[in-house]
Each structure stands twice: as structure tokens, then as C-alpha cells.
Amino acid sequence: MQCLMVTLLSQPRRIPGGLRLDANKAQSLQQPLRAAGVPERLYIPLSQHIGDAAEPLVEVGDRVLKGQLIARSPGYISAPVHASSSGEVVAIGDYPVPHPSGMQAACIVIATDGRDQAAADQLRMENVLQADPADIRQRVRDAGIVGLGGAGFPTSVKLNPGPDREVDLLVINAAECEPYISCDEALMCSRPWEILEGIHIMRHALHARQVVIGIEDNMPNAIQCLQHCLDESEETGIRMIPVPTIYPAGGEKQLIYALTGEEVPSQGLPIDLGIVCHNVGTAAAIARALLQGEPLISRVVTVTGEGVRQPANLEVRIGTPVAALIEECGGYTDAIARLLMGGPMMGFSLRSDTIPAIKTTNCILAASYRETPQAPPASPCIRCSDCVDVCPAGLLPQQLYWYAHARNFDRIQDYHLFDCIECGCCAQVCPSHIPLVQYYRFAKTEIWSLESERQFSELARQRHEFRLQRLEREKKALEERRAKARKSLKPKAGDADAKQAEIAAALQRVKAKKAEQSVQARNTGDLTEQQQADIAAIERRRSSGSGQP
């Protein structure tokens, strides 16, 4: 069994590269966290996570209850989907979903009834800290919980490091590094006990030896709230370490480096170092599911920017249209220019405010032209290396750009393209205004597409080879059967003489029988005159010594 020992640093390290950006979080933190209203219709996508899309369990016309399972997870890397409120299923089909391409995908549409009637609780666990970790993972899976830090990886999978691995360190990511986004800070200030209870459950499920909360040092209120809970509970097994506020310190690999000085291997995972990392929002969702019996049907979302009248953090039902959230915050201002899902660095533009909030939605940014100015036209790269200086992954962004631009997808992988976290630091400092991250995303998509085609071709080749092998086996088996049949029909050595002897004996028996019949006929006088004359002639020839009949 793998057992790696991880040592926490006495003082956190500054991550490589990165940028100091204006936080712009205060405007959405002026009001306390509150619950958003339930919209008239919920548009709940079947795919809100990494992995296979969920499969519907309801039909149009069905009445559903809040928290009811409406779509099951078909595979291990997947998550089920639940109804966010009670009402009637009025449609199941393709609708706009959060995606940079503006694509449509399968959604279950629920017309809410205003009663918000809850389904029977099937998730709550008694004595959860004494429960078997496998049972905890199954309840977390049944609750549809995924990583709420933005990636959306099914949490039950990350709670299962495998039988041959031990978890030495559980990292709770509270380093909300991107500008404008304050949903985690609002959650830590309003529900610190919920987060702490979720941490205890995850530590028990993972059998983690150490637990640390990594939080940026520009969140004094959140630090104070969490520390108060730790002090009140007399908890000594959980440490909280503030890290320098540098974007993107909240990246999983970057936070691990800041806290431990350890670097996650290229194309590796934190578990390779004996580390598992979860978001504070994920911890709260686990506590709510296993202690209160509520699946993941809502999350905290920051609605902010100069384009909205009253920025705030809202507890939002999954499937709520963005337009309803903007209305909840007083509506648009005249300064609205762009609507983003996510922050200004890693978010993407929304073509419409009818798109729903999903499990991975952490921010709706109604930005003005001042906040997101239009980038000037790109000019040629001048090889200034500014992008190299700020890359938190230690890559060579200009080389990645050249090979992506040239569509040299083999060579670009030699420069560790897939270690890029798409934080946007390189594009932010590029004096040539080259949209570098777009090139990297393009290259990744093309490589994934080519790999998918290669796997499809390889599968087709294997199927063709298996068919030829099967036909060859069938042909060989047929030839063996025919040879066996021919062998069974072919006489053995000595069988011919025996057969001739049998034939000769049979002829003798026939002749003897005929002779006996002739004698009997003669003795009884039944012979005709002609027969008697023939017999007399035969006897005369025999008596004269002639062998001729």
C-alpha cells in the first residue's frame, strides 16, 4: 500500500508566476447571503459535471417533488440529477446550456407549483462519523454532489483514492482567487459550521492523517468565522493557513505547492503525492446531504458587476435562468455590456440570459465596457517572454502558441500543453494582445478529437482483425470436420481382403442354396422338361471331365 508523508510548510510559499489583480469582491459582499426565489420554470441539464450525462427517469406530465431523483447516473464518472423544486415536468429536450460554444443540450424542464414540496429523505445518515467509508461515498454519489470549485468532477470518485493508496493530507480549498467571485467567502461567513461538519465527514471517509484549509489572506472575515468554529469545537486536527493573494493561487496544484512545497507531477494527480483537494462549497454540500438529507439542488452564486443594480451572493436553485437572478438583484443597469458566467479571467460569454445556473456556476458577471474592455486586434508575437514570467504552471506559452497556430499537435504536446490550467495570465500580459488561451483550447480540442478518431479507427481495425480470425477459425474447423469424415469412410489396411472374402462366402452360400433348391425341385418332380434337360446336360459335361457348363 502506498503511504506518502506530506509536510506542511511553516510559512506558505508564493506560487510561481501569477498576477496581482484587483479583487472587486466588496460590492457583492455588502449584503448577507440570501436565498433566491424559485422561478416559474427550471431548466435542469442532464450534464452538469465531468463524465457521462445523466439519463432521465421521468416523463412529460409527471409531477416531481423537491429533491426527487429525476435522472440517474449511467457510469462511474457521472452524477445523478434531482428536481430543484416541486412541480410538473413539461418538456424534455434540447435547450441552451452554459457552454462557451453556446450549444444546446438535453434538459428536463419543470413548471414549478410554488409549494416547494420536498420528497422523502433518503440520504440522511445516523452516526455518519462511524459509518463505513463505502456507504458515505454511495450517499454522496446518490446526492449528485460534484466539485463546486468549478471543475464539476464527481465528488464520490475523489473520496475513493483506491485500495492501494493512503491519503496523508486533505486540502480544503478556500482560496477564491479570481476577481469578482465571492460565493465561497459568503458561504464561509454565513455557514462555517456546515463547512466544518463536511470536512469531518470527508476526513473520516478518506482516513486522512492531516487536514488543512488553504485560504487567501485577503478574506479576514472568512478567516475569523472559520477560526471561531475551530476554537469553539476545540478542533486540533484541522489547520487553517492563509496564503498570499496572487491569482491563480486557488488552482489545485498551485494551492498544494503553496502549502506543502510539493509539485504535482506533469499529467499527474494530487493523490500521487498522497493528497486530496476539495472545495469549501463541496464540504458544505456533503454536510447538507448526509446530515440534513438534501441532495445538491442549490448552490451559492455571485451576481455582480457594474451591469447589475444590486450585486449580491444568492443561494440559487439549480436550473434557475440567469434572467431571474439578474431580476433578483434589481435588474440591469445602463452600463451592461457583456454577460459572463464565471470571472473575467476564466469565465465565458453568455449569448442569452435564458441559460440556467448549474452545479458548476459560481458567478454571473454583468460587466460594463470598463470592466471588460474590448481587446485590440492581435499583432505578431515579439518574443518578450512576459507570458513565461507569469505562467503558474512553468510552461512556455509562446511555444505552445506557435505550435497551436501551426496545427502541429504532436510537437505541442512535447511542451506539456495539458498542464495548462487556462488561467489566462499569459493573455492578460501579452503586449501583442494575442488570445493565447483560445489557441490552447483549440489545440486541446483538436487533439481530443484526433485521439477519439484514432480510438475509433483502432476499434474498427480490431473488429476487422477479429472477424478475419473468426472466419479463419471457422474455415479450419470445417476442414477438420471434412477430413475426419473422409477418414471415417476410408477402409483400413486388410479390410479389402476381408471384404472380398465375405463377398465370396456370400456367393458360395447363394450357389449352395440354389443347388439345394434344384435338388429339392428335382426330387419333387416340379421341374419342367426344359429344366430337366438342362440338368442332364450339366451332369453329362461333369462326368465327361469338362468344366464348362
The whole-number pLDDT of residue 523 equals 63
Q: How confident is the model at residue 4 (pLDDT cuts 50, 70, 90)?
A: low
Residues contacting residue 258 through CB under 8 Å, at least 6 positions apart: 12, 13, 14, 15, 214, 243, 244, 249
What confidence score (pLDDT) does residue 121 get?
Answer: 87
d(CA 543, CA 545): 5
Q: What is the pLDDT of residues 451-462, one digit of tens each?
A: 888 888 989 999
Q: How far apart are the first and last CA of the chain?
A: 104
Better pLDDT: 141 or 517:
141
Is the pLDDT score of 161 beyond 70?
Answer: yes
If one compares 258 and 530, the residue with the highest pLDDT of the two is 258
Span 22-48, average pLDDT: 95
Could you tell me how far CA 395 lies from the centroid of its own chain? Answer: 27
Residue 167 has pLDDT above 60, yes or no: yes
Phi/psi-derived region of residue 322, left when phi > 0, alpha when psi is between -120 and 50, beta in every other case: alpha
Given this model, what pLDDT does residue 490 score?
65
In the predicted model, what is the mean pLDDT of the chain?
91
Q: Residue 5: is its pLDDT beyond 90?
A: no
Q: Is the pLDDT of residue 536 over 80?
A: no
Q: Higher pLDDT residue, 541 or 244?
A: 244
Spatial strand order in the sheet of 87-96 = 41-45, 104-112, 87-96, 63-64
356 and 435 Cβ atoms separated by less than 8 Å: no
Lowest mean pLDDT among 73-77, 417-421, 483-487: 483-487
For CA atoms 281, 283, 284, 285, give the dihedral sign: positive
Q: How many C-beta atoms lie closer than 10 Å to residue 291's C-beta?
A: 17
Q: Rounded to whole angstroms, how far apart are CA atoms 122 and 139?
A: 9
Task: Work out the widest C-alpha separation in the chain, in whole angstroms.
Answer: 148
pLDDT of residue 149: 86
The number of angstroms, rounded, from the C-alpha of 152 to the middle of its chain's C-alpha atoms is 9
Q: Do residues 151 and 50 lie in contact, with contact meaning Cβ atoms separated by under 8 Å?
A: yes
C-alpha cell at 129: 462519523
pLDDT at 103: 86
- Mean pLDDT for the stretch of residues 30-58: 95
Share of residues in the chain with pLDDT > 90 (%): 76
Q: What is the percent of the chain with per-residue pLDDT over 70, rounded to a whole number?
A: 93
User: Is the pLDDT at 394 greater than 90, yes or no?
Assistant: yes
Phi, psi torsion values for 468, nearest 5 degrees: -60, -40
Residues 6+ apart with CB under 8 A from 117: 65, 66, 86
**What tens digit of pLDDT does each residue of 170-229 get?**
999 999 889 999 999 999 999 999 999 999 999 999 999 999 999 999 999 999 999 999
For 384-414, give one letter per residue: b (16+ CB within 10 A) or e. eebbbebbbbebebbbbbbbbeeeebeebee
pLDDT band at 7 (very low <50, low <70, confident <90, very high): confident
| Cell reading at 143 | 446526492
State mean pLDDT over 305-334: 97
| Mean pLDDT computed over 258-284 | 93
Q: What is the pTM of this model?
A: 0.82
Backbone angles phi, psi at 414, to 5 degrees: -70, -20
| pLDDT score recorded for residue 547 | 44
Mean pLDDT, range 429-453, rounded to an integer: 93
Is 549's pLDDT higher than 50?
no
Residue at grid coordinates 472477424: 467
Report the 10 Å Cβ neighbour count for 87. Answer: 24
Kindly list the structural domains of the chain, giving each domain's residue range(s) and its CATH number in brackets, ordered by start: 26-367 (3.40.50.11540), 378-487 (1.10.1060), 510-549 (no CATH)
Residues 335-364: tens digit of each pLDDT: 999 999 999 999 999 999 999 999 999 999
pLDDT (average), residues 48-77:
94
The shares of helix, strand and coil residues in the chain, as percent rounded to the nearest 5, are 40, 20, 40
More confident residue, 8 or 549: 8
* Sign of the CA dihedral running 435, 436, 441, 447: positive
Q: Cα–Cα distance between 464 and 446 in angstroms, integer? A: 27
